[in-house]
Amino acid sequence: MNIAISAAETSGDLVASALVKSLLESNSECQIEGMAGDKMAAAGCQALWHLNQVNVMGFSEVLKKLPSLIRLRKSIIAHFCEHEPAVFIGVDAPDFNFKIERKLKECGIKTVHFVSPSVWAWRSGRIKKIKESTDLMLCMFPFEVDFYKKHGQKALFVGHPLAETLSPRVNHQQGKKILLMPGSREAEIKSLVPEMLGALRLMKEQDKEISFSLVLANTHLQSWVEEQFTGLNVEISIGDAHQKISQADLVVVASGTATLEIAMLGVPMVVVYKLSAISYQIAKRLLKTDYVSLPNVMLGKEVVPELIQDKANADNIASSALRILGADNTKLVAELSSIHTQLNQGSAEKSAKAILAFINA
């Protein structure tokens, strides 16, 4: 049984490597090949193309590589139209993979897409492209399936891979440790750090026992951030978010995937985000959900505070953080921990079984 796969980003390589492993464990006669990263190759996928050929960031870099990206996509389509697999699996990277899926689907090849784009939150018009491209959508969140059912798209909830590596901490004694997580992109770090810094000063005025740490995703703005916090006794580290979250009593975090990681560890948080005025007006009109943070979207109510745009200021951050630090958070932690229970489905194994059943249907 030949299975084709395409992961075009580093994050997709991680998710897809677990899927490749589960597919081979479920059916040892599978031969899996396609666009792969090192982790997928180590799991048993034959890399006909390496994802480094596609894994680019930034508008100017994408523009520069566009001709070679188009040629590469055409090569993948041509190869699998000639050597027809039992199924083609596109992993994340919708802008790259949907076009391949659509062309292969037109050739009569079954297509699966793993990791739904956020059509339930914004740009819901993309559902037309998805239906043209994808026979089966594998979803990480249960509410995504509801969206697809409404639009007549076959979809299955398989859970989130993070839930298999993260779980709610136990026997934590509440203290006064606050972790700051200003995001990974330059724009969000530069807009949120000044507000976090202001909040830190306000909180230290009210309670000198509160301790602060800050974690960055990479070293890109490390020097600039360290300069902002000079003399304030703030421990700044790189790339150890999960460890630091598990030690914190509260996290002040930029909206994004990190909010889900914090929820899975069962840690209270304050979610903050700021965009440029123009970007915010555009985003506000496109957004189709009542909440921006995944924990609140998952639970269908505001369990954690969301301070967005003008509300993401030092005063509001400090008052929200102090209120949570001074409260009994047993109920809050239980609600956050329930997200882990919902998403812990054995994602790779469940996906592999669904794909093999779909091939044989």
Residues with Cβ within 8 Å of 299's Cβ and at least 6 positions away in sequence, in order, are: 335, 338, 339
Asked if the model's pLDDT at residue 322 lies above 70, the reply is yes
Per the document, the length of the chain is 361
Q: Which is nearest to 242 in space by CA: 211, 220, 263?
A: 263
pLDDT digits (tens, 9 = 90+) for 162-220: 898 899 999 999 999 999 999 988 888 999 999 999 999 999 999 999 999 999 988 98
pLDDT of residue 324: 97
Q: Given pLDDT bands bounded at 50, 70 and 90, which one contains residue 283? A: low
Question: Quick one: 255 and 317 in the same domain?
Answer: yes
Q: How confident is the model at residue 279 (pLDDT cuts 50, 70, 90)?
A: low
Q: Are residues 260 and 128 in the same domain?
A: no
Q: Is residue 47 part of a domain?
A: yes
Rg (CA), the chain: 22
Q: Which domain holds residue 318?
A: 177-343
- State whether 82 and 139 are in the same domain: yes
Q: Comparing 180-189, 252-261, 286-295, which segment has the lowest mean pLDDT? A: 286-295
pLDDT band at 57 (very low <50, low <70, confident <90, very high): very low
* Same domain, yes or no: 324 and 199: yes
CATH number at residue 132: 3.40.50.2000
Let me know: does 91 contact 7? Beta carbons within 8 Å.
yes
**Whether residues 193 and 336 fall in one domain:** yes
pLDDT on residue 333: 96
- Share above pLDDT 70 across residues of the chain, in percent, rounded to a whole number: 92
30 and 146 share one domain = yes
pLDDT of residue 217: 86
Regarding whether 105 and 10 lie in a shared domain, the answer is yes
* Shared-domain flag, residues 50 and 187: no
Residue-level pLDDT at 67: 85
pLDDT digits (tens, 9 = 90+) for 95-141: 899 999 999 999 999 999 999 988 866 667 789 999 999 999 999 99
* Axis crossing angle, helix 257-264 with helix 330-343, rounded to the nearest 10: 110
